[in-house]
Each structure stands twice: as structure tokens, then as C-alpha cells.
Amino acid sequence: MPAVDEPPRPTHLAPLATVLPPLLLGTATFNTQYVDNPITMPYRGIVRRALVDLGVNGFDTSPYYGPSESLLGEALEATGVERSRYFLETKAGRVHGTGFDYSAPAIQASVRHSLQRLRTPYVDLVYAHDAEFMAPADVLTAVRALRALRAEGILRYVGISGFPVDVLASLAEHILAVTGEPVDAVLSYGHCTVQNTRLLGDPVHRMHRAGVDVVLNASLLNMGLLTTRGVDNGPQAKWHPSPPALRDVCAVAARVCKQDPLPASLGMKGIEQVALRYALDVWAREAVATRVATTAFDGVSIGSSVLGVTSEAELDETMIEWWSVLDGLGIAHGSLERLQKITGFGSEPDGPAKTEAGAARTAAIKAFVEEKLWPVFGTFKDFAWASPEEGWVNQLKPIEASTANL
């Protein structure tokens, strides 16, 4: 039974699955972990193009992502779009790479500072960030602190995020058992990709049974691992947790995508587009099959994904694949004019022909991944590194705790 002081869920809140967009722009890329200088990257143009031109009305960030919240808040304000027209989610609890503070005062202070940086009176969803690093009792403390803020009206939905899917499922089960209320959302990253599909199956079924309304799939390129450049040739080389052998096989997979004629015949430049298309499509379908889905497009349920870009061109390429996924599912999205603007195409198939074209693209990519890439990954197919690594100790110092999230 829940504790007597457990804040009740507001009765006016609709289920998250009815309001969460099916595609969110993740802004972890607005950070030195991904680019040399995020201040000089075209973050304003990316946000404007996403929200105003392309109809992407969901955004994900975190105070852990360096200047991301401030840059996103500035860019959203500059669009002039009314706050109620987009969905905004952030996180709390992770202070830096090896430091966490899940105490109630720190969690609540973090959210209040996020509001300032994001230039908003409320956020729609807040996650306890990378919850696997903390004990279940600490995660409960963080969730309860977030629910107290929900009662104040400065956030609406509460979730947990992290890497190991079995741990996320266990935490969701624990939160329901102890508090009597499920978390609204679980944000999983790096576990529904061309290399790792461990989110599919038992973990997501467990989350559903634990009452989780929506499971979101993030980091479809596994934090840059599934790219032509790879993580050894960019800022990720300093921090990416993947072992060298996994980086090597991903580099081989990237070369296969460059050399095989199929991706080129589909207009794909490399492993990035192959990986994005595959993961977007698989999760769109799997989330519905497991009844952990978001509802959009006139009541059609579809799995929700979070992905980041570093340029408007990357965003355009991503959206073309996303719309093709929707085509293959027979979901009308009204993006003909947008597609023409991006690609310069004079026309595109319509009606059944468009659905058939999208479905054929889906089938071709699925076969390519399973027949050409999975053999390359070999024993690294579905491999996931330990998070946290063995012997990890929270290194948050008292001075950091007192100034965390300022």
C-alpha cells in the first residue's frame, strides 16, 4: 500500500499515452559530449526547423547535458510558438559523470532550475536520470519528490531513465509495489538498435505489467557508436563506455553499409540512416504489440522515439525516414509539402502506392540488417556494457551537492 503522505495523482491529467508525441528531438547533442562547441552549433535553426517547419513538437533534455537546457530554452522561445503547442521533458538527479544526488531537496531544486533555463513555467515530464546508478530506495525518494512537484503543477508526468533494461523493469515494478502508483514513463536508450534489441520482449512486457504507460526508445545510434565516423574520431572518444572490440565491429558494419549496393539504392548515405530507419520502424511496431505505446495521428497507436541531431541536414534526413515509416504503417501524416520542400521532389506516391513504397522500404532494410549486419556483430549482437561498471562509487562531493543543478 502507498504511504499515507503519497501525493495523489491529479485527476485532471490525461494518460501520458494520449499526449506524448511519437517523435521527440533529443538535445543531448547540444553538449560538448557530441560537438566541440555547442554554442556555435546551429541549435536555433535545428529547433525552429523541427517545431515550425517539420511538425516535431516534442523535446528531451537534461541538466546533465551541459548547456543543453539553456540552449533549448532560448531556441524554443525564439520560435514564438505557444508553450502549450509542444511537449517538453527533462531529467533530474545526475549532476556529472560520476556524481548523483537523488535526495528530495536536490531533485526539486534541479527541476526548479530547469524551469529557469528552459524559460517555461512547467515541464511536461521529468525522469529520475540514469536510475540504475542509485539504490531502489533512492529512486523511490526521487520519484516521490517529483510527484510532490506534480502536485504543485510545475510538472505533469514522472518517469525513470537509464541503460540496463532489466534494471529499469525491476525499478518500475518496485515503484508500483511500494507506492501503489506506476511511473508514467520509462526512457530506455541504446537497447532497440541494429546492434542491440534487448528492449524487445521480456523487459518491455514487465514494464507494461508494472503499469508503465509509455516506454520511449532513445539513442538509436547508441550515442554515436553506429555512425560512419564512429566514437573514436570525435568527442565521444573521451567518455563513450563501449569496449574497443564493439567499436571495431561497428566500424566494420559501417563499411558494409557504405559498400553494399542496397543502402545506396534507397538513397541512404551510410549506417546512420540504416540504423535510424530500422530502429524507428521496429519500435513503432513493437511498442504497439506490447501495449506500451503513445497515441497520435487520429488515434493510431505508435511507439515513441527520441533522437538527436547536430545539423538541420541530419534532421531532414531523419524526418524523411520517419515519414517513410509512417507510410509503411499506413498512417496519414500530411507531410507532402514538407517532403517536397526538403528533398525537392516534385511529387511522391499517394494512397495505397505510398503505403506499399513505405512497406517495401521497411522490408528491404529489415532484411539487410538481419542478413548483412547481424552476422558482422556476431557475439556482440545484443551486447550491452555494464552500467554502472563494477566497483562504481558515487563521487559527488559535499560542495558539489550544495551547488548541484544551479
| Residue 82, all three cell numbers | 505557444
pLDDT of residue 25: 98
The alpha carbon of residue 190 and the mean position of all alpha carbons in its chain are separated, in whole angstroms, by 9
CA distance 57 to 59: 7
Overall average pLDDT of the 373-392 stretch: 97
Q: What is the pLDDT of residue 292?
A: 87
Active site annotation includes 43: no
Give the pLDDT confidence score for residue 17 in this predicted structure. 93
Q: What is the mean pLDDT of residues 350-374?
A: 90
What pLDDT, on a 0 to 100 scale, did the predictor assign at position 4? 45
* Single-letter amino acid code for the residue at 213: D
pLDDT reported for residue 346:
45
Identity of the residue numbered 153? G
The neighbouring-strand residues paired with 305 are 23, 217
Burial class (CB in 10 A: 0-12, 13-18, 19+), 133: buried
Q: So what's the pLDDT on residue 293?
A: 85
Residue with more model confidence, 353 or 259: 259
Q: Is 307 helix (H, G, I), strand (E, B) or coil?
A: strand
Sign of CA dihedral 368, 306, 162, 252: positive
| 45: pLDDT strictly greater than 60 | yes
Q: How far apart are CA 401 and CA 406, in angstroms?
A: 10
* Average pLDDT for the chain: 92
What is the enclosing helix (H) or strand (E) of 58? strand 58-60
Q: Say yes or no to pLDDT of 256 above 60.
A: yes
C-alpha count within 13 angstroms, C-beta hemisphere, residue 323: 23
- The whole-angstrom separation of Cα 178 and Cα 175 is 5
Stated pTM of the model: 0.94
* Angstrom distance (rounded) from CA 260 to CA 197: 23
The rounded percent of the chain whose pLDDT value lies above 90 is: 79
pLDDT-based confidence at residue 1 (cuts at 50, 70, 90): very low
C-alpha span between 384 and 396 (Å, rounded): 26
Question: In this predicted model, what pLDDT tens digit does every residue of 168-206 receive, in sequence order?
Answer: 999 999 999 999 999 999 999 999 999 999 999 899 999
For residues 29-46, b (16+ Cβ closer than 10 Å) or e, as one string?
A: bbbebbbeebeebbbeeb
In the three-class reduction of DSSP (H, G, I as helix; E, B as strand; rest coil), residue 252 is classed as helix
pLDDT band at residue 399 using 50, 70 and 90 as cut-offs? low
**Secondary structure of residue 384 in the 3-state scheme:** coil
Catalytic residue among 34, 43, 64, 65: 65
For the ranges 275-279, 346-350, 362-366, the lowest mean pLDDT is seen at 346-350
Between 404 and 357, where is the model more confident? 357
In angstroms, the CA 272 to CA 275 distance is 5
Q: What angle do CA 300, 194, 18 make, to 5 degrees?
A: 20
pLDDT at site 182? 97
Radius of gyration of the chain (CA): 20
* Element at 65 (helix H, strand E): none
pLDDT at res. 173: 98
| Predicted confidence (pLDDT) at residue 251 exceeds the cutoff of 70 | yes
Give the separation between CA 21 and CA 124, rounded to whole angstroms. 11
- pLDDT, tens only, 264-283: 999 999 999 999 999 999 99
Task: Please report the domains of the chain, with CATH numbers, ordered by start residue.
Answer: 16-241+274-311 (3.20.20.100)
Q: What is the pLDDT of residue 183?
A: 97
Q: Closest Cα to residue 65, out of 152, 210, 189?
A: 189
Please give the pLDDT value at position 297: 65
**Averaged pLDDT for residues 315-341:** 82
